[in-house]
Amino acid sequence: MIVMKFGGSSIDSSQAIRNVAGIVRKKRNRQPIVVLSACNDTTDNLELAVNVAVTGETDKALAELDKIYEYHRQMAGELQLENHWEKIFNDKSRKYYEELKILLTGASMLRDIAKKSMDRVLAFGERFSTLLFSCYLNSTGTPAQLLDSTEFLKTTEQHTSAQPILEESNPHIERTFNNSVGDGKIPVVQGFIGSTLDGAVTTLGRGGSDFTASIIGAALQVEDIEIWSDVDGVLTADPTIIEHAKVVDRMSFREASELAYFGARVLHPDSILPAVERDIPIHIYNSRNVDSSGSLIRAEFPDNNHTVVKSIAYKEAINVLNLTSTRMFQAHDFLRKVFEVLDRHEMVADLVSTSEVSISIAFHRQTGYHAVMDELSKFASVSLESSKAIVCLVGEKMRARKGLLGTIFQTLDQINVNMVAQGASEVNLSFVIDEKDIERTVKKLHQVFFTG
């Protein structure tokens, strides 16, 4: 048994859906479970419709909804569904449309929308895509069963960013999929969405479809989890900067997690956690280039190829708080007081560099600094630097590589490096630069470590 997750860019047209159906059919002997995201941009467009609705412009909000509805209806028409499945698609999609219409009209009247209602709206992106895909599979002679993720994926009540409750979800997952797979049908389920214990719809936040795939795979202890997107796998750098970035054929879970946290867009950090615990391999494939071997991610790999740096990632929109103690605190008192303030304001640091009486902290956050700085200024001299970026080199055993820092600083001798930090896990080495220097920095480092 395997789990196959397809992202929105893999199902953004009728031809793309045909292509994905072909990929799934080739894996039928492995008992695939298909997890789908919303079709490309649908979640963003639903969010846009809500934002228009809360301004009171009901007609404009419903016009945005009409575009979403017609987009899916048009794809269904192009797929030429068999009559029975065409009727099922039309009837169910119309019900989805009518419920969305009620939700948007209510938001327009109230000039507001609760997070609980927002989750109900956003969940329809995945409902439309899975309805369409399951109808197409059945219409073309591949038995499929559309399942509702809200019936088996139980979450906390943090609407728009809910966390799965695995001890509640796992028994439901086992029961649901063992029955479905046993019937010989391909289960098709929504990523991204779940429900609270009392049945209210929730969403898992961006990247939630990967999380869904990993949760299902871990609960069922599947052979593989396949993540299909529009790139060939994990790359040595952002392909928008490095046109001929190379595919990393294999990575450890630790390396993949660090890459995801520091900006690589192939995997969401949380998505790999359930698979890590079960040591389930994750393959990253390109649905538009099925001949690519992709990337394989596992808990550990013996490092036989002597590659130290596997990939270069970066995170934009970084702000750096610089603090120097204005009183004679001992080091532990100063650090404790700083992090107590940050904890109260729910600020999570991306990077920290410290000395006895000074500390620099990098955050990927754009608001809320004034209140934090006011509180910190009671016992420290505080300044804020904006328009920064974190660049991260990822690879196992980098700490053991002699001269690595020297190579980096020599390569970046014309670029201002503000902070340097090496993780205790030996997997990443990160530093802060000016945001305007991202492209130049990535190109220089890629030349040295991958093409030089």
Q: What is the pLDDT of residues 379-419, one digit of tens each?
A: 899 999 999 999 999 988 776 677 888 888 899 999 999 88
User: CA end-to-end span of the chain, whole Å?
Assistant: 42
Rounded CA-CA distance 64/39 in Å is 15
Beta strand pairing status for 351-354 and 358-363? antiparallel
Q: Contact at 8 Å (CB) between 20 and 75?
A: no
Give the residue ranges of the chain where pLDDT is below 70.
Answer: 182, 263-265, 269-270, 302-307, 328-332, 399-400, 423-425
Give the tens place of pLDDT for each residue, 167-182. Answer: 999 999 999 998 777 6
- Whole-number pLDDT of residue 402: 77
- Whole-number pLDDT of residue 445: 95
Characterise 134 by phi-psi region: left (phi > 0), alpha (psi -120 to 50), beta (else). alpha
Identify the helix (H) or strand (E) that includes residue 320.
Answer: strand 311-325
> How many alpha carbons fall within 13 Å on the CB side of residue 108?
17
- Whole-number pLDDT of residue 258: 84
**Is CATH 3.30.2130.10 what the domain over 311-451 is classified as, yes or no?**
yes
| Residue at token pair 């929109």 | 317
- Who contacts 384 (Cβ-Cβ below 8 Å, separation ≥6)? 319, 320, 321, 322, 369, 373
Rounded CA-CA distance 96/116 in Å is 17
Kindly state the tokens that stand for 244: 């001929």
Kindly state the tokens that stand for 131: 């309805």
Span(s) in the chain for CATH 3.30.2130.10:
311-451
> How many alpha carbons fall within 13 Å on the CB side of residue 265?
11
Query: Amino acid letter at 44?
Result: D
- Whole-number pLDDT of residue 45: 97
Rounded CA-CA distance 46/38 in Å is 11
| Residue at token pair 């943090």 | 158
Question: Which SS3 state, helix, strand or coil, does residue 308 take?
Answer: coil
- Whole-number pLDDT of residue 306: 57
Query: Amino acid letter at 4?
Result: M
- Whole-number pLDDT of residue 331: 62
- Whole-number pLDDT of residue 303: 58
- Whole-number pLDDT of residue 366: 72
- Whole-number pLDDT of residue 398: 78
Tell me the CATH number of domain 2-230, given options 2.60.15.10, 3.40.50.300, 3.30.2020.30, 3.40.1160.10.
Answer: 3.40.1160.10
Span(s) in the chain for CATH 3.40.1160.10:
2-230
